[in-house]
Amino acid sequence: MGQGALTKERIFQAALKAFALHGYEGARMDKIAAEVDINKATLYFHFKSKEDILRELFQDIVLKYRDKMNAIVTGCKDMPCKERLKTIYREYLEYNLDNAEMDFWNRIYYLPPTNLREEIISITSESKKEFVANLACIMEEGIKQKELQQMNPSHMAYTFYNILTCIDLSSGLMSKEQALLEMDNCFEVLWNGIKGM
Partner DNA sequence: GTCTATAGGGAGATAGAC
Partner DNA sequence: GTCTATCTCCCTATAGAC
CA gap 55, 179 in Å, rounded: 30
**Which residue in the set 94, 155, 176, 178 belongs to the binding site for a second copy (CB under 8 A)?**
155
Amino acid occupying residue 170: S
Q: What is the DSSP string of 13-59?
A: HHHHHHHHHHHHHH--HHHHHHHHTS-HHHHHHH-S-HHHHHHHHHH
The CA-atom distances, in angstroms, between 82 and each of 65, 73, 88, 120, 141 are 23, 13, 10, 33, 11
Kindly tell me which of 72 and 156 has the beta carbon lying closer to a second copy.
156
Asked if 49 touches DNA (CB under 7 A), the answer is: yes
* Residue 159 contact, options a second copy, DNA, none, Cβ 5-8 Å cut-off depending on partner type: a second copy
**Cβ-Cβ contacts under 8 Å for 16 (sequence gap 6 or more):** 57, 61, 100, 101, 104
Shortest distance, CB of residue 170 to a second copy, whole angstroms? 7
Question: Would you give the binding string for a second copy spanning residues 22-51, x where CB under 8 A is met?
Answer: xx-xx-------------------------
Binding region for DNA (CB under 7 A): 2-5, 7, 27-30, 37-42, 44-46, 48-51
**Chain residues in the site for a second copy (CB under 8 A):** 22-23, 25-26, 106-107, 109-111, 121, 124-125, 128, 149, 151-152, 154-156, 158-159, 162-163, 165-166, 168-170, 172-174, 182, 185-186, 188-194
